């Protein structure tokens, strides 16, 4: 069965040969690698063309710069494989990565297989590992009494919201109509929630073979530096509600948690007045959409959630309930009001 691996590229010249090497050394040979050159200006496109001439499994798409979401959407439209996988242009995978996921999805008949990942430094040091299912239980799937498969074990399906460290059945993705949101913030959240709303058969694996490289200058790091008007999260969240009309408790918790994450991470580099104003925006948005915290962040329903994230939700919840936003912001923020964030 063919696996299409989609890699958006933007000015990634210094990583390309390493990334291509990781992909083309995969022990699973039935792959097509789709590099989408998203208007690079550093010569990345020419390097990709040379790589493609040397290996017929490589395809290169060139387009005007439209952002990561646009590039991933273009890659999905061009894909011909039975399955889809994604990789970022500066990340790492070992030679058995694709086989591990391809074997899992074929063995289980799932629509999506989700794994964990390693956060690694540019020099290869492992900073931390996020495991969804711990050995010796390498695979989690749920079956009804009749033997039919049903969706994933609760909260595990929400933990890794990035498109990588997963494999997707292409026919299911196409049937769901899922696309990445062409917006500066949360394009992958929108994609995953579109899939989630279509009720995929989902399996979790104990794999941690995907290496998410911690480059300080990467978009995933810089987008959360301060509260930025050009990366306002609420238009994205409104779109998520449009494509995911069901409001079960785990989905409501996911949205509340995302607001808490935004206040903790983006608010750290904001000015205190800006953070207080953002607290109010989050509270107003949650109330308008009837998204109160459905249960305690320390609930056993949140299988796989790490303590740090549970504490962050608890702190933000209590800060809001006790109206301590100004005190929290004064202590927590390291930004300044006159500084652009």
54-75 pLDDT, tens digit per residue, is 999 999 999 999 999 999 999 9
- pTM: predicted TM-score of the whole model, two decimal places: 0.90
Residue 302 phi/psi, 5-degree rounding, is: -90, 60
Cis? peptide before 255, omega within 30° of 0: no
Residue 87: what pLDDT?
98
pLDDT digits (tens, 9 = 90+) for 119-153: 999 888 999 999 887 654 444 544 434 444 445 55
In this predicted structure, what is the pLDDT of residue 78? 98
Enumerate the domain spans of the chain.
3-221, 225-332
pLDDT at residue 126, rounded to an integer: 92
pLDDT beneath 70, residues of the chain: 134-153, 216-226, 335-341
pLDDT at 217: 55
Residue owning tokens 């104003």: 277
Distances (CA, A) of 159 to 60, 126, 151, 252, 305: 31, 20, 15, 14, 7
User: How close are the terminal C-alpha atoms of the chain, in Å?
Assistant: 47
Torsion of CA 261, 267, 273, 278, to 10 degrees: -30
DSSP state of 135: T
Question: Which CATH superfamily includes the segment(s) 3-221?
Answer: Spore Coat Polysaccharide Biosynthesis Protein SpsA; Chain A (3.90.550.10)
Neighbours of 29 (CB within 10 A): 10
């Amino acid at each position: 069965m063919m696996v299409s691996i989609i890699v958006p590229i933007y000015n990634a010249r210094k990583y390309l040969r390493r990334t291509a090497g990781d992909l083309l050394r995969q022990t699973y040979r039935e792959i097509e690698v789709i590099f989408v050159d998203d208007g690079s200006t550093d010569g990345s496109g020419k390097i990709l063309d040379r790589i493609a001439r040397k290996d017929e499994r490589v395809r290169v798409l060139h387009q005007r710069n439209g952002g990561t979401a646009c590039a991933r959407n273009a890659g999905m439209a061009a894909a011909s494989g039975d399955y889809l996988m994604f990789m970022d242009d500066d990340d790492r995978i070992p030679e058995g990565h694709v086989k591990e996921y391809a074997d899992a999805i074929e063995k289980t008949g799932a629509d999506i297989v989700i794994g964990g990942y390693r956060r690694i430094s540019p020099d290869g040091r492992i900073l931390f590992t996020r495991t969804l299912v711990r050995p010796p239980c390498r695979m989690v799937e749920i079956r009804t009494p009749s033997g039919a498969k049903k969706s994933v074990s609760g909260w595990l399906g929400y933990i890794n919201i990035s498109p990588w460290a997963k494999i997707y059945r292409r026919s299911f993705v196409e049937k769901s109509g899922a696309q990445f949101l062409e917006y500066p913030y949360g394009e992958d959240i929108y994609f995953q929630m579109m899939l989630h709303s279509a009720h995929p058969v989902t399996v979790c694996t104990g794999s941690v073979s995907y290496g998410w490289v911690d480059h300080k200058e990467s978009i995933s790091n810089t987008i959360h530096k301060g509260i930025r008007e050009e990366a306002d999260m609420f238009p994205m969240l409104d779109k998520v509600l449009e494509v995911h009309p069901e409001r079960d408790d785990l989905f409501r918790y996911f949205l509340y948690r995302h607001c808490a994450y935004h206040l903790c991470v983006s608010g750290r580099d904001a000015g205190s007045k800006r953070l207080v104003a953002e607290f109010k925006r989050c509270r107003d948005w949650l109330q308008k959409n009837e998204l109160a915290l459905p249960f305690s962040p320390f609930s056993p329903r949140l299988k796989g959630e790490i303590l740090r994230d549970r504490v962050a939700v608890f702190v933000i919840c209590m800060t809001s309930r006790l109206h301590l936003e100004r005190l929290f912001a004064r202590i927590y923020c390291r930004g300044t009001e006159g500084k652009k964030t």
